[in-house]
């Protein structure tokens, strides 16, 4: 992929033509003395907001989506497609700074869920990587199995401080995830009824790198984590697995090439993670952009797409979403997830 172009300026073109002209007795014309030109004003150095959130704020999000219909406890569900989108207002989150009593609101198109302190199932604490909300609709007329669940990366709350009287730290103590100060994620899982449609939206949000602050030379590697869910159907049964693992993302800022290796695991409710799948993907950053799109490379056991963006000063953090579909271990499978990481 070529992202840079060579342009022959008018002055250079004139010089070329002059060098090709014939001889003769014409007299030379004195070269005019060039006038000085103003020095271009450099772009200002941007200042980025960072976590913890100081107040409630709204964020548009990268997102990956899929859906399935049926009761996974009793049968093989019908699997939908997967898709990914760059940052846009169709999927957005209103995040609260008060993780004890505040409200989160997440929207996708015309669909919305609100979560308050009464819906908390996992509190933000250093021992957890996500805090979790879950609501079950028990209103009169509501269908059985109608639910909505939100899982948020635990990096947006209070951080460790040596200041006397500072609030206690609640962010995750995970060595990598705790370093992410300008990017986070939110996973929204909801269902219409026990046998009805369920939808998965995995989304990344934060403080994007400004286009003029993006690096345009050199290559960098990002060390990253994977979070996702896999839904598989085979032999009349359904398997729902949380997906984890690590990723290495290499970005050539001069050419715009983004290459990613995903070493995925399945994450049980308790016990050790199990190796699951290795995938490779490539993407491309357009000129003057802080976002990119791409797909899984040929030879992967799945097809699908990725979308990503850079966050913070000079792309300090990276966020990606992915959607994959294919046959894995003999089962028809859909996977959606996120990759979040830090530049090395």
* Nearest one of 300, 307, 306 to 326, comparing CA atoms: 300
Tell me whether residue 256 is in a domain.
yes
Average pLDDT over residues 23-42: 55
> Residues 121-172: pLDDT tens digits?
999 999 999 999 999 998 888 899 999 999 999 999 999 888 888 888 999 9
The pLDDT assigned to 22 comes to 44
Tell me whether residue 48 is in a domain.
no
Mean pLDDT of the chain: 90
Tell me whether residue 15 is in a domain.
no
Tell me whether residue 67 is in a domain.
yes
The pLDDT assigned to 165 comes to 81
Tell me whether residue 44 is in a domain.
no
CATH of the domain at 330: 2.40.160.90
Tell me whether residue 37 is in a domain.
no
> Residues 46-91: pLDDT tens digits?
999 999 999 999 999 999 999 999 999 999 999 999 999 999 999 9
pLDDT range class, residue 197, cuts 50, 70, 90? very high
Tell me whether residue 167 is in a domain.
yes
pTM of the model: 0.87
Provide the residue range defining the domain that includes 205: 57-343
> Residues 220-257: pLDDT tens digits?
999 999 999 999 999 999 999 999 999 999 999 999 99
Average pLDDT over residues 20-29: 44
Strand order in the sheet with 57-69: 111-115, 104-108, 78-95, 57-69, 197-206, 183-191, 147-153, 130-136, 120-122
Per-residue CA distances from 111 to 7, 64, 81, 188, 291 (Å): 49, 16, 19, 11, 25
Average pLDDT over residues 265-280: 90
Tell me whether residue 237 is in a domain.
yes
Question: What is the domain count for the chain?
Answer: 1
Residue % of the chain over a pLDDT of 70 = 88
């Amino acid at each position: 992929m070529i992202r840079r172009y060579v342009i022959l300026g008018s002055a250079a073109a004139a010089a070329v033509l002059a060098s090709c002209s014939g001889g003769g007795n014409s007299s030379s014309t004195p070269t005019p003395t060039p006038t000085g030109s103003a020095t271009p004003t450099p772009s200002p150095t941007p200042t980025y907001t960072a976590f913890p959130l100081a107040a409630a704020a709204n964020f548009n999000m990268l997102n990956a989506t899929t859906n399935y219909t049926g009761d996974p406890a009793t049968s093989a569900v019908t699997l939908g497609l997967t898709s990914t989108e760059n940052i846009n207002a169709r999927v957005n989150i209103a995040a609260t700074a008060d993780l004890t009593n505040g409200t989160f609101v997440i929207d996708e198109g015309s669909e919305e869920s609100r979560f308050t302190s009464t819906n908390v199932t996992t509190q933000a604490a250093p021992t957890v990587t996500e805090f979790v909300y879950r609501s079950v609709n028990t209103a009169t007329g509501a269908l059985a199995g109608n639910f909505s669940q939100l899982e948020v990366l635990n990096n947006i709350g209070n951080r460790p401080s040596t200041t006397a009287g500072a609030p206690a730290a609640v962010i995750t103590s995970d060595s990598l995830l705790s370093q992410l100060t300008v990017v986070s994620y939110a996973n929204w899982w909801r269902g219409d009824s026990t046998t009805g449609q369920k939808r998965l939206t995995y989304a990344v949000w934060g403080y994007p790198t400004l286009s003029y602050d993006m690096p345009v030379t050199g290559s960098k590697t990002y060390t990253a984590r994977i979070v996702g869910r896999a839904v598989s159907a085979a032999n009349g049964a359904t398997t729902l697995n949380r997906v984890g693992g690590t990723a290495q993302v290499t970005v050539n800022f001069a050419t715009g090439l983004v290459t990613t290796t995903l070493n995925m695991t399945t994450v049980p409710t308790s016990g050790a993670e199990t190796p699951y799948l290795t995938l490779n993907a490539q993407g491309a950053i357009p000129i003057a952009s802080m976002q990119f799109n791409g797909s899984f490379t040929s030879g992967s056991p799945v097809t699908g797409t990725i979308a990503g963006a850079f966050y913070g000063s000079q792309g300090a953090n990276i966020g990606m979403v992915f959607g994959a579909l294919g046959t894995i271990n003999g089962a028809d499978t859909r996977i959606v997830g996120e990759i979040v990481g830090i530049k090395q």
